[in-house]
Amino acid sequence: MGKTKKVRVGMVGYKFMGKAHSHALRDVPFYFDTEVVPVLQAIAGRDEPGVKAAAEKMGWASYETDWRRLIEREDIDVIDIVTPNNTHAEIAIAAAEAGKHVICEKPLALTLEDSKRMLTAAEKSGIIHMVCHNYRFAPAVQFAKKLVEEGRLGKIFHFRATFLQDWLMDPNFPLIWRLRKEVSGSGTHGDLGAHSIDLARFLVGEFSEVVGMMETFVKQRPLGTEMDINLRSRAVSSEMGTVDVDDASAFLARFENGALGVFEVSRFCRGNRAGNRFEINGEKGSIRWDMENMNNLQVYFADDEPGLQGFRTINCTEVEHPFAGAYWPPAHIIGYEHTFINLMVEMMNGIAKGRSPQPNFEDGVRNQAVLEAVEKSVQTGTWIKIADVLN
């Protein structure tokens, strides 16, 4: 323990993701012996009573009402960005230029161009940077990656993913920031699709081309308050505003290694609260994962004995499963918040070793290129090559 070094974190924002990140940062040293340990130094938000209360509740040592002040402070080493998407680029670039390491929520930016500027700034100043795709840090997903890398599935033919929710189906649900293009960049596409794209890139590899479709089922909504952590909100006005982002997005993809991908994300799928699922089919086996049962991985291996073949469930809570051994005895399951703890461990190890964590801003840029290629495909009605969008 004598060798541990402390890094002082300054977080911008304190709502849903602020809660997830604060908890994760606090719990890193509780469960893991990382060389670098985060300290919850300061938190920033514009509303003073709100940020003060958040600082007290979540254990931050101090607070600021302007994120610029946080970046100026010499007692801050890392900036953690958990604000709406339209603010990511400005804060991340300022932080990188000030020599602070950066953790940024997904999607990395509003546009591919902004995400590229963020990557350039980060690389220029040599900081450690990370984009928060937390689902790849579920032990079962990490174990799926290990099986793929070991060749247990052989050549991959198919990847299919969904991320389905239903909290937006009420036509009176108000026009919160997630439904305004200038703040969020896109609707389900960037919010949920970015997660599925990250899982695909992590498990299968780079995309080569995509063709997609998108729909906005409810085009006018009452103006309203922000959403609470239970995905509930209520209108505060009878005035209506236009929804300029998608409610649902679906696309087909080809990967560089020849695999085919099918993706569907929506906030209009009754009964699906967080239907974040994928299936991979390879020549020697298949894998299925469902976030609503996130400790389990379903596997099928073609070389299992005839008569005993079939999908079986591995409960990924054993020491053999990445990250799982740090928590509880086998079958003592972990949850959503632990995916963020594991993500923060990756960030702390990156800082300790001076190596880029994954996913980093380059992954954020590549993710954004796929998002943007799908949007372009919807506009043109054609297949779009990722290389044409990226370069």
Residue 64 within binding range of ligand SOE, rule CB under 6 A: no
Q: Looking at beta carbons only, is 6 or 273 nearer to ligand SOE?
A: 273
Q: Nearest to residue 79, comparing CAs of 147, 28, 132?
A: 132
Smallest separation (angstroms) from ligand SOE to the CB of 191: 5
Q: How far is the CB of 315 from ligand SOE (least distance, A)?
A: 22
Residues 65, 235, 241, 266, Cα dihedral to 10°: 90
Compare residues 165 and 295 and give the one whose CB is closer to ligand SOE.
165
H/E stretch holding 235 reads: strand 235-242
Q: How far is the CB of 337 from ligand SOE (least distance, A)?
A: 12
Distance in Å, CB of 190 to ligand SOE, minimum:
9
Sign of CA dihedral 67, 72, 73, 78: positive
Token code pair at residue 51? 């940020």
Q: For residues 165 and 377, which CB has a smaller minimum distance to ligand SOE in the complex?
A: 165
Q: Could you tell me how many residues of this chain bind ligand SOE (CB under 6 A)? A: 3
Report which residue's Cβ sits closest to ligand SOE.
Answer: 191
Closer to ligand SOE by Cβ: residue 114 or 191: 191
How far apart CA 248 and CA 215 sit, in angstroms, is 5
Give the closest residue to 322 by CA, choosing from 136, 128, 134.
136
- Can you list the alpha helix ranges (DSSP code H) found in 63-222? 67-72, 88-97, 112-125, 139-149, 181-184, 188, 194-203
Q: How many Cβ atoms sit within 10 Å of the Cβ of residue 57?
A: 11
Least spacing, CB of residue 195 vs ligand SOE, in Å:
6
Of 114, 191, 362, 363, which one interacts with ligand SOE (CB under 6 A)? Answer: 191
By rule CB under 6 A, what string of x and - marks binding of each residue 257-286 to ligand SOE? -----------------x------------
Residue 344 CB, nearest distance to ligand SOE (Å)? 16
Report the residue number, 269 or 274, with the smaller CB distance to ligand SOE: 274
Contact set for ligand SOE, span 165-184 (CB under 6 A): 165
Distance CA 189, CA 179 (A): 11
Q: How far, in Å, CA of 63 to CA of 272, rounded?
A: 37
Distances (CA, A) of 30 to 40, 184, 326, 350, 379: 14, 34, 9, 19, 49
> By the criterion CB under 6 A, which residues form the site for ligand SOE?
165, 191, 274
